[in-house]
Amino acid sequence: NGEPLVTVRPNMLVTFKQYATHGTGEPTLYGGSGDELAGQGGGALSAEEKIKELQRLVDTSNNERERLLKELEDVQADKVSMEYLLREKLERLVQTEIEGRLEAYRSPTGAGGADATDTASAAAAMVASLA
């Protein structure tokens, strides 16, 4: 007889357009030839089109992730560089302050005795805290 042995429902075929598009309802990929939007007729995608759409989303996401990782590395490198420059500037400022206090201590009109020892101790503590 002329009847098929097995009847396959259309929604069981991978070419049947039954999958919703991702996001805004607009397909995010182009069909097989690249000329027209996939699922243009009813806004639905076939299984093959849906797989391509999701693969494109994954690829886009991976590219964005790689870009953000590179940007993060750049920002971290800038941070380390800024920390180094700030530390150098702070060391110069502390050194200038120490030299100024020592010069004031050694000058004939400068304070002497216990105050000088306290100043030297404070200066040593400042320098030690920078290390």
What's the CA gap between 116 and 104, in Å, rounded?
9
Q: How much is the pLDDT for 131? A: 59
Q: What is the number of other CB atoms lying within 10 angstroms of the CB of residue 3? A: 5
Amino acid in position 79:
K
Region at 41 (left for phi over 0; alpha for psi -120 to 50; beta for the rest): alpha
Query: Residues 12-34: pLDDT tens digits?
Result: 777 777 778 877 545 444 444 44
Low-confidence ranges of the chain (pLDDT < 70): 1-2, 4, 8, 24-42, 109-120, 123, 126-127, 129-131
Q: 96 phi and psi, to 5 degrees?
A: -65, -45
Taking the model in full, what pTM does it have? 0.49
Would you state the structure tokens that stand for residue 41, as one six-digit string? Answer: 């007729």
What's the CA gap between 42 and 31, in Å, rounded?
14
What's the CA gap between 72 and 70, in Å, rounded?
5
Q: What is the Cα Rg of the chain in Å?
A: 36
